[in-house]
Amino acid sequence: MRTITQTIVFTISLLTVSLTCNAQWYEAQGHASTDKDSVDIARTKAMENALKKALLVAGASVSSVQQVVNGLLTQDQISIRASGSVNSIELIDEFHSNNMISVTVRADIFPQEKKCFSLDYKKSILLTKSHLTQRQQANIGKIYQLDSAVINQLNNKLAKQSNYSHGKLLLKSSTQFYRLNASFNEEKIRQLAMSLADTTDSQYIVFSEINDISFEQERSNSWKIWQQGTYPRSFNITIYLYNGLSGEQIWQQSYQNSAVWEFTKREDVDVNGTAFWQSGYGIMISSLLDSMISDIDDNIMCEPSEGRILQVKENQITINLGRHHGVKIGDEFSLLHSSNFTSDLGRSYSGFNISPYKVKVVKLTKQTATATTLDNNSLGNIQINDLAVRY
C-alpha cells in the first residue's frame, strides 16, 4: 500500500501574556494530507506535529500525545524533555482546502527553574556517506548513488528544519564505519569518530547504513493482468550519532517504510533528480528524513555546547564556536582540561578535569569566539584542544 504523504508547514508566533510563573503561549499551525486518511486521523496528525513544534520552539520536546477525541486534546499525558511543561492546550482553528487540513494549536508552556542554556547554540554535525549493505538490491533502477543522495537530502533538510544543529557533508569517500561496525570494533569506531571530528571541526558525527531497498513480492495492481505490475519497494536505514570529542555513541535508531516504485524495471533512475524525490518512493524517504531530524534535535538539544580551544594567550582563549553557532558577546563558558587515560585492558578513554576558570566572550567571528577570564588572571594549565563548555 502506498504510504501516506504528509507535508507539515508551521507558522510559529509567540504571545506573551501576564500570567503567574511567567507562562507563555505558543501558537503553532500544522497541515496534513487527507488523500489517504480520514479527516479525524489527519486532524490528529496535524495537531500532534503542531504541538511538538510548539514545545521544541519553547525549549522542550514531546514524544507522544496520548489521546485525541473529536479533534480536541482531552488527555494531555505528554512526555517532555528539557525545559518546559504544558499547563493547557487549545485547538483554536481548523481549515479544509484541496485535500489538506490545517489546524492551529495554542499551548500554555511554563518554563522550569533550571534553564537548558545549550538550547541557544547550534551543534555542528558531520554527515558521512551512508553504506548500502545489500548493494545488489540497487540493480533495479541503477540507484547505486542512493548512499550519497539520501545524506545530501538529509543535510538540506537539516539546514531548513533543525533548531539545534547545522550539518557538514563528507560524501566524496566512504568511511570505515561499516566494516568496523560489522566486526563490533567499538574502540576503532570511537577513534574514527574523534578523528573525523578533529579534522572537520565538528561536535557530532553521523554514520548510517541503508539495510534494505528490496522489492516486495506482491505487486500492487496484480488484478490488472494486462498492465505492467508496480511493486512496493522497501527502505530501511539505521542512523548512528556519535560525540566527536569523546568518541562515544549517544544514540542510534532504525527507520523503515515502503512505497510503490513508479519507475519501470529497466529504467535508470537519477536519485539526485526531481523526478525521484517527487515520486511516491522519494516522498516516503523524505518523510523518514523529517523524523530523523526531529529525533536528532531531541537527542542533542540539551547536550552541552562544547568548543575546542584553538589558541591560548595569557588570560585569553579562542574557541571553534562562533556567531554561526549562536554564540553571543557576554556568554560565559566553563573550561575543561583534557585528561585522557588508558584502562588495564588497554582501552583509552577521554577524561576531563574541570578548571576553576570561567571565561566571557568578548569578540566574535562567524566560526570562532575570543574569550577572557572573568578576573583577568592567566589560564594556568589550559592548553590547545582543551574544551570550553556551556551547559
Tens of pLDDT, residues 145-195: 999 999 999 999 999 988 888 899 999 889 999 999 999 999 999 999 999
Residue 2 lies in a domain: no
Q: Where a domain ends, among 87, 115, 143?
A: 115
What is d(CA 3, CA 6) in angstroms, rounded to the nearest whole number?
10
Same domain, 380 and 346: yes
Same domain, 286 and 342: no
Higher pLDDT residue, 215 or 381?
A: 215
Count how many domains the chain has: 3
Does residue 347 have a pLDDT over 90? no
Q: What is the pLDDT, as a whole number, of residue 118?
A: 59
Same domain, 108 and 123: no
Q: Where a domain ends, among 300, 319, 349?
A: 300
Provide mean pLDDT across the span 322-346.
82
Residue 282: CA count within 13 A, CB half-sphere: 18
CA–CA–CA angle 378, 385, 200 (5° rounding): 140
Same domain, 229 and 357: no
Same domain, 93 and 168: no
- Whether the Cβ atoms of residue 366 and residue 333 lie closer than 8 Å to each other: no
Structural domain boundaries, residue 103: 12-115
44 burial via Cβ count (<10 Å: 0-12, 13-18, 19+): buried
Same domain, 139 and 285: yes
Determine what percent of the chain is predicted with pLDDT higher than 90.
43
Q: Where a domain ends, among 247, 274, 300?
A: 300
Q: What is the pLDDT, as a whole number, of residue 303?
A: 79
What is d(CA 256, CA 75) in angstroms, rounded to the nearest whole number?
29
User: Residues 6 or more apart from 273 whose CB is under 8 A from it?
Assistant: none
Provide mean pLDDT across the span 234-254.
94
Does residue 302 have a pLDDT over 70? yes
Same domain, 294 and 309: no
Residue 4 lies in a domain: no
**What CATH code is carried by the domain that includes residue 309?**
2.40.10.410
Residue 77 lies in a domain: yes
Same domain, 210 and 77: no
Tens of pLDDT, residues 17-28: 333 344 466 677
CB atoms within 10 A of CB 146: 23
Same domain, 110 and 136: no
